Amino acid sequence: MIRSSQSDPFLSTEAIHNLRDYGGYSAADGGRVTTGMLFRSGHHAEATETDLGTVSDLGLSHVIDLRGDSERARHSCRRPEGFEAEVLFFEGETAGLAPHLEAAEGSVDAVSAHRAMVELYGALPDRAGLNWILKQYFAALAEGQGASLVHCAAGKDRTGIAVDLLHHILGVHPDDAMHDYLLTNHSPRNEERIAHGMQLMGGKYGAKDEASMRVLMGVDSEFLDAARRSVRERFGSIDAYLAETLGVDEARKARLRERLVA
């Protein structure tokens, strides 16, 4: 198991949270996931002109927006001048709310908030809308020619699952994939992101204290483990879920590895 070769995968931004390169990890065949091709983030609704310049410099061919219609309507992403990337999204809902907001609805303390997030991750593989856009994500990466960016609202839950599945396909060790997932807790200006979420959730969703807010706005290994476990229990293996539900058969896996592992 070898960690990412990148000392700092995060890109400097002013109002796009958690923008980073999720390449650089070693793969099972001795190769390494390509850098400069795979990016992830939160939404770009408040992106500054400087942020838009950063996005433009990525040379994106595809943007995969994992959010549903209502989320995109509330927080429409800004695009750089001359933006030509294909934007893929599901026409409908991929979650009742962003997962951390959905979990907040019934939370009263940190323990119940944590339990709600674990349960939510366990149910995510059954979301038809999310499965549909995940299928498009893997198809775009297999057939596309340039860089891609995948994002949801906060860039941590649905995006975290999408990236974890791709890392699995590319032969990244599960511990290294978990390392990438947990980097969200160490993203630049993370306290600013949490404070913004606390302001939103405290006013609307019934989360009562800072401890529960931090659970909802962060990531935890138990969350991702719940999604992985749910997939294995319902499909027999992650590979079966990929093949049966997301259209990632052995030929598509080979194509993804050919494109994204060097």
- 30: tokens are 């001795």
Across the beta sheet with 60-65, the strand order is 20-21, 38-41, 147-151, 60-65, 86-88
Query: Shortest CA distance to 221 belongs to which of 168, 187, 170, 177?
Result: 177
Place of tokens 């800072």: 210
Dist CA 47 CA 81 (whole Å): 13
Active-site choice (152, 154, 165, 172)? 152
- 198: tokens are 């606390």
Dist CA 146 CA 225 (whole Å): 31
Dist CA 51 CA 79 (whole Å): 10
Note every long-range contact of 93-97, with CB atoms under 8 Å and residues 24 or more positions apart, other chains counting: 93/68, 93/69, 93/129, 94/66, 94/67, 94/68, 94/127, 94/129, 94/130, 94/133, 94/152, 94/158, 95/68, 95/71, 95/127, 95/129, 95/130, 95/158, 97/71
Helical axes 221-235 vs 110-123, angle rounded to 10°: 30
Give yes or no: 152 in active site.
yes
Tell me the C-alpha to C-alpha distance, in Å, between residue 1 and each of 32, 137, 183. 12, 26, 17
Dist CA 236 CA 229 (whole Å): 10
> Catalytic site residues?
152
